[in-house]
């Protein structure tokens, strides 16, 4: 199914501070290669038939390339982000401004009364990091939400009120998988993939009960950013490092598309971190 995405070029990407276990401020970033790898990711999504909006990067915000963290949307309602670390705080306003422009430029359709309806943006009161810790499973209409390192559990209740969807809270326990999108991905309307070791024992039990047919990833899959992926229900775009995960996806009936994102991994993100989905 064709999707609509938002990405932000890594024009100012660098590792100038450390806010997750993958970041090392002493390791240089090849800025030119980062842009080339990002361009190839964007081209891959377009080749698969998807639409990609581009958010303008801003000086002083090197992590804006991780566009998934700026908001979370379902049915044209956008729940904004409120970042945990001050280094990223200003990104939230950039995302809010994007949705304001999008609403005025291309209202997604008409409501039952024939009124043109745009995107509705709701600013949060609780700390949350957008699609970093929220994802949507369309079949059951469930929101899966992570907490433990970035997003506050109170934001889960707030998201449920804003988006009118049931939210399942999942506790992350391994700091290497500091966001939900490092440890879990939605593959199609009813199927997920996840690495059990990233979650508490109770969260693992919940996932087993809700998704008995999930693709279960190994630790090496997760460490290769193999779960930080984007799927349209058939094609799955993921890190070229995650060859074992790609094989699991083939066995499950999906078509993996591998992309190199070695430079952006230095900031602690890969494919999904760079791609926000606009669910209009």
Cite the active site residues: 179, 273
Bridge pairing between strands 109-110 and 51-54: unpaired
Pairing of strands 109-110, 116-117: antiparallel
CA angle 135, 228, 166 (to 5 degrees): 10
User: What's the Cα-to-Cα distance from 162 to each of 102, 120, 156, rounded to whole Å?
Assistant: 19, 10, 10
Residue 47 belongs to what H/E stretch?
A: helix 31-47
- CA 184 – CA 198 distance, rounded (Å): 9
What distances in angstroms separate CA 224 from CA 5, 15, 40, 177, 194, one per listed residue?
A: 23, 19, 19, 11, 13
Q: Which two tokens stand for residue 61?
A: 């915000």
**Residue corresponding to tokens 């081209």:** 43
Sheet with strand 134-137: strands edge to edge: 134-137, 142-147, 167-171
How far is 212 from 196, CA to CA, in rounded Å?
Answer: 13
Residue 213: Cβ within 10 Å count: 9
Q: Residue 207, Cα to own-chain centre: how many angstroms?
A: 19
């Amino acid at each position: 199914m064709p999707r609509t995405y938002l990405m932000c070029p890594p024009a100012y990407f660098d590792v100038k501070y450390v806010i997750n276990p993958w970041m090392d401020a002493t390791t240089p970033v090849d800025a030119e290669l980062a842009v080339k790898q990002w361009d190839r990711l964007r081209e891959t999504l377009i080749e698969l038939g998807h639409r990609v909006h581009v958010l303008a990067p801003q000086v002083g915000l090197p992590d804006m390339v991780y566009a998934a963290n700026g908001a979370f949307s379902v049915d044209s309602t956008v729940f904004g982000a409120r970042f945990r670390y001050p280094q990223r705080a200003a990104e939230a306003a950039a995302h809010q401004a994007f949705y304001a422009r999008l609403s005025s430029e291309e209202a997604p359709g008409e409501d039952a009364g024939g009124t043109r309806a745009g995107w509705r943006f709701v600013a949060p009161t609780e700390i949350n990091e957008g699609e970093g810790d929220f994802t949507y499973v369309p079949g059951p209409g469930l929101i899966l939400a992570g907490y433990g390192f970035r997003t506050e559990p109170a934001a889960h209740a707030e998201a449920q009120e804003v988006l009118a969807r049931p939210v399942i809270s999942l506790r992350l326990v391994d700091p290497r998988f500091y966001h939900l999108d490092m440890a879990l991905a939605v593959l199609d309307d009813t199927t997920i993939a996840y690495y059990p070791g990233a979650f508490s024992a109770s969260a693992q039990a919940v996932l087993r009960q809700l998704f008995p047919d999930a693709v279960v990833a190994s630790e090496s899959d997760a460490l290769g950013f193999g779960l930080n992926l984007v799927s349209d229900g058939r094609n799955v775009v993921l890190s070229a490092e995650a060859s074992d995960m790609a094989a699991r996806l083939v066995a499950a009936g999906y078509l993996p598309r591998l992309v190199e994102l070695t430079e952006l991994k230095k900031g602690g993100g890969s494919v999904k971190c760079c791609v926000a989905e606009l669910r209009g």
